[in-house]
Structure 1
Amino acid sequence: MELSRRYEGSHATASPSGCFIAYIINSKLRVSLIYNLEDRPDFPIKIAPKDITALKCCSDGIHIVLLSNNLIEVCSTDRDSRGIRIDNGGRALGSMLAVDFVRPHHLLTCWEFGTAKVWDLKTAKAIDLPDLKTAGTGSPWQERPKPNPTVHTLALLARPAAEDTLTLYFPELCRSTEPIKLPTVDAQAISWSPDGCWLAVLDTPTASPCVHFYTPDGLLYNSYPAETAQGVNDGLSIKAISWSARHVALSRFDGSVDLLNNITFRPVATIEHTLTIAQSTLPEHQRALIWRESISASHERSYSLASRPISLPVSRTKHSIEPAELGVAEVEISADGRYLATRDERMLSTVWFWNIYTTSAHSVVIQHQNVRQIQWHPTLVSLVMLDCGEGIAYLYDLASHDPPRPINVPLPGSAKLSWVHTDFETVPAVLAATKSGFRVLYPEGRDCLVNADQMESRLSAEIYDEGTSEDSLADILSGRKPVTTGQSHTERLAQEVNEAGGYDGSTLDDTFRERRRTAEEEVDPLDDSQIF
């Protein structure tokens, strides 16, 4: 384990490629290579550091954007490229609310009154995208992952004339589809599947229990729950949505999680969190490990296996009726789709880990403090980090039988922890950042991260390779066969829908409850349009 010294600077952000860390220091933008933080060129900026509200790095490793209420500044790490500034002028559209890269040479800007523009950084021209919906709980836009290499797709939620619409915009073509009217009352967020084959639209939980699934060309494919099964909505329904390569998890306000097959969108399992864990009817080898953290008088942290039955600590001190504080607090799926991590709002210090492939509870971790965030490593698929807001990175490898490993990252204030998304499968790195400084944690050491020649070549690369699609041949839950090559997406979908069936599995302590469904005739709305 190796820990860098503390570096002064605000808004520290790791690039998507994991090559460098960008931050603000002495009214300049500084870029430090991840393997050598002392190598740090500076770039002049016009925005005062106190006015910066966000800093984002582009996937190409060249462009970095700074956001303030009245000015957006795009800096380039390539000395031969010039910077770009977007001024808010008289603020007729309100303050600048958000900014995001759409491919390396297109920039999406959003104002607080709903106006959005997509700027071509090469030509300095902009396309207006009016009536963008900014009042939802999630992001009103999302770029399609793993797109066609020549034509990219940006999905946007809008609300003109009191109706929700979906628009698909193509930056390279400078045009978009006609607005698609949505069957939602008040759409809250959109979400692409990891392979870019599905787009989910989440409706408001107070008026509709549905999440709607669309094809990449904007055709409604399915809704969950189905209209025939909705009945009367007597409470809050779906809270958030999380994707994996084979499944989609829908967290609910009642504390449960529905796990769906992401081809048929039929439920294959339901997860429920209980205040007491017994598992008395299960053999010992099938029982989930329960790790409990304890702190000694000398502030040393350790874990021990808890005996059963065990009552989990309730972290809520008072009853709340706020929607954000009800039901499931967090649902995170590992990069390979094998493991699922969940937290319940009633037990914020407890993290549940589930093995999706075997439909069983893998382990439970009870922390001394409430968990602030769960983060799976992007390439080490069984490694997860727990952040409790104490400046301690809890690294837990589910492939081993060892408890979480607490690693202290001392920084004044409450440091925010995040993985540095390197492309090297066996070398993790953690960025710990506060408002005034940051440190980098190398759990396996810095020397094995990457050599200088490799890193510099990655830093100067024009386009960042986003990786290949995860497509496991063994799907235990649905029992689907491997997809053969040479078929169109429509043909593969028809084959998989016909072959997909309910999972005939065992129940673990009433925690996973299998739900079989009879096969229903489904319409295939996909076409093989070359633009997608």
Structure 2
Amino acid sequence: MTTNATASPHGDYIAYMRGGYVLTQSIRHREPTTQSACKLPPDAKVASLKWSADGSQILISHDRGLQVVDSKHRSSRVFLKNGTAGLGRIATADFVGNEHLLVVWEFGKAKLWHMNSGKAVDLPDFKTTCDGQTWQIRPGNKTPPLFAVLSRIGAEDHLSLRFPSLRQLPPPAKLPTIDAQGISWSPDGRWLAILDVPTASQSLHIYTPDGHLFRSYPSAKDVELGLGIKSFAWSGDSRILALTKFDGLVELLNTRTFMPIAMIEHSTTIHQHEVEKEQQAPVWQEAVSSANERSYTQQQQPFSPPLSKAKAGNEPSDLGLAEICFSCDGSYLATRDCRMLNTVWIWNMATLGAHAVLIQHSNIRRLKWHPTRFETLLIDCAEGFAHVWNVSSREPPTALPTGGLAKAKLTWLEGPAEARPIIMVTEQSRFHLLHPEGQDELLEQVSRPASAEGSEPNDEGNSEDSLFQVLSGRKPLPPKTQPSYTEMVDLEMEAEDELDGDGLDDTFREKRKAVQQAPMEIDPLDDSEIF
């Protein structure tokens, strides 16, 4: 039984829990599954697994505390014990760089731990009650990393920009917000956007990396009607900032002056009467037969997508846009309106016009662009199918059965630009990989054992001819000497017996070194310990 499966940042390995151990399985190479040397308590409930940015460490969050495992040497590096939970349970924990851990407790306490020395720096008044991110590392391979933190002092929001290695906290800067809802760096790290509540007259604030306010939007002289900005998203090339409104509009700003360049509206009737018929955006609608066979038909304009609603009510979350996301290079924008939850609108950022409209049979749960292929979009409708669509083609999406439950989570795996795409299908107790375009040659090839004495030499020059003879039926397929990659993953996942790790615990217990900590001020409510 596997749980909490998660892929590494570069898409090389998958880490998952089994029998109290962390196991790592290679994705693109034929390597045996490796097991960590440390075992969690038998009654520990694992909440999540997270990789460090460089893929060298794995963070295990469970109800007893935190544990960091070295993914290369498979040994335990850090164990943070939550003690008697005087600060509540650990709400979130994340890597900050490769040497620090940011830990936030449910009662609002936050600490930045240095994993080598075991020392911690308190982050006072850490803001925890907001819809978006309260902290984020500046993008880019910058050393040391710079990260921004939101804090709430009294009734005022503050912003702190700091490096993890600093022991002295820089003075926070007061924000012109009523109740900041989240922060987000632009992909190039040049701008930091802070979103305020939608009722604020100026609900978006743009800051420079040194903490200076560059601009607030909309400007004070502009008259803003309605509920304001609901969310925002940066394009992959950092050239456009898209703002979603509660009235269903999407406003596009350039990231030089942050002035509007276009407005996108989702109409309940699709009719491009000003565009020639050959250049109109295609409208594809999915149909499902009684045998669960899926097909798409192209609809003629004008056409009205079916209206749908996840639930009754007029809550702010039910108004405006339900989802918005850019392709990896910012060439295309995918949006969903809350009135039409089964409809995907694709917009071309070069022409600022509609590129296509996809109408699914069921409401869409999530949209996800491929991390390296700008033209590939994954549509997850929670039906046990992965709908993959190529933007550059004139064909409709392809519905691929995932082989998992309807509630299974579908995600793209990172990888080289030249590698074939891989979809990870994750359920509560198992996971498997889906290859929309087949596996790479490195995974498909069958490794041959070293030739024994007296056997025929390996003729590499005739490998292509031999493959042609096999495919054409002139030559039988050679006997299988080793299970395929998929079979190895299935064998690991379906194994019922738990690994016995008592000997490993005894071996590594004597090698743990105590970390000397400098005397520091003790919080009477904090009894957490790091080893």
TM range (shorter): 0.7 to 0.9
Superposed displacement of residue 82, structure 1:
3.5
Percent identity between the aligned chains?
A: 43
Select 2:69's aligned residue among 56, 71, 75: 75
Contact 1:10–1:436 (8 Å) recurs in 2: yes
**In 2, Cα distance between equivalents of 1:401 and 1:164:** 49
Which has the bigger relative contact order, CA under 8 A and spacing at least 6? 1
Q: Identify which of 233, 239, 252 aligns with 1:242.
A: 233
Match of 2:252 in 1: 259
1:29 to 18, 22, 25: 22
The alignment covers a number of residue pairs equal to 442
Q: Distance in 1 between matches of 2:280 and 2:43?
A: 52
Q: Which amino acid aligns with 2:96?
A: V
Q: In structure 1, list runs of 5 or more residues that go unmatched.
A: 1-7, 453-532
Q: Does 1:409 align with 2:402?
A: yes
- Residue identity matched to 1:134: T
Instruction: Give the corresponding residue for 1:448.
Output: 441
**Corresponding residue for residue 115 of structure 2:** 121
What amino acid does structure 2 have at the position aligned with 1:71? G
How far does residue 317 in structure 1 lie from its aligned partner after superposition? 6.5
Evaluate the alpha carbon distance shift between residue 183 and residue 69 of structure 1 in structure 2; reply closer, same or farther with a 3 A threshold.
farther
Consecutive unaligned residues of structure 2, counting only runs of 5 or more, are 446-531
User: What amino acid does structure 2 have at the position aligned with 1:414?
Assistant: K
Call closer, same or farther: CA 1:230–1:242 in 2, change over 3 Å: same
Does structure 1 residue 88 correspond to structure 2 residue 79?
no
User: 2:210 — aligned with what?
Assistant: 217
User: Which of 129, 134, 141 is the matching residue for 2:135?
Assistant: 141
Structure 2 letter corresponding to 1:277: I
- Contact 2:333–2:347 (8 Å) recurs in 1: yes
Change (3 A) 1:98 1:80: closer
1:467 aligned partner = none
Q: Which structure has the bigger radius of gyration?
A: 2
User: In the alignment, what sits opposite 1:170?
Assistant: 163
Q: Matches of 1:88 and 1:202 in 2, distance apart? A: 33
What CA distance in whole angstroms lies between the structure 1 residues aligned with 2:341 and 2:110? 37
What is the CA-CA distance between 1:173 and the residue it aligns to? 3.5
Amino acid at match of 1:379: T
Instruction: From 378, 381, 384, give the equivalent of 1:385.
Output: 378
1:404-463 deviations in whole A, cap 9, x for unaligned? Answer: 1111111235100001011234421110101111110122222336799xxxxxxxxxxx
Whole-angstrom CA distance in 1 between matches of 2:209 and 2:335: 29
CA distance in 2, matches of 1:412, 1:425: 30
- The one-letter code of the counterpart of 1:137 is D
Is the alpha carbon distance of 1:45 and 1:439 closer, same or farther for their aligned partners in structure 2, counting shifts above 3 Å? same
Task: Tell me which stretches of 4 or more aligned residues in structure 1 moved more than 4 Å.
Answer: 47-50, 449-452
1:12-411 matched pairs, under 5 angstroms: 12-35=5-28, 39-43=32-36, 44-48=38-42, 51-79=45-73, 81-148=75-142, 150-230=143-223, 235-244=226-235, 245=237, 246-316=239-309, 319-411=312-404
Relative distance call for 1:115 and 1:287 in structure 2 (3 A) is same
The residue that corresponds to 2:489 in the other structure is none
Tell me, in whole angstroms, the C-alpha distance in 1 between the residues paired with 2:75 and 2:22.
15
Q: Which residue of 2 is the match for residue 503 of structure 1? A: none
- Paired with 2:385 and 2:215, the residues of 1 have a C-alpha distance of 43
Which residue identity is paired with 1:64? I
- Are the aligned partners of 2:56 and 2:72 in contact in 1 as well (CA < 8 Å)? yes
Write the distance in 2 (CA, Å) between the matches of 1:318 and 1:127: 44
Alpha carbons 2:29, 2:443 under 8 Å: kept: no
Q: Cα distance, 1:93 vs. partner?
A: 1.8
Q: CA deviation at 1:174?
A: 3.9
TM-score (norm 1): 0.80
Give the counterpart letter for 1:219 in structure 2: H
- TM-score w.r.t. the length of structure 2 is 0.80
Name which of structure 1's ranges 372-381 and 411-420 shifts more when overlaid on structure 2: 411-420
**Structure 2: which amino acid aligns with 1:366?**
I
CA distance in 2, matches of 1:56, 1:326: 33
Q: SS state of the match for residue 39, structure 1? A: coil
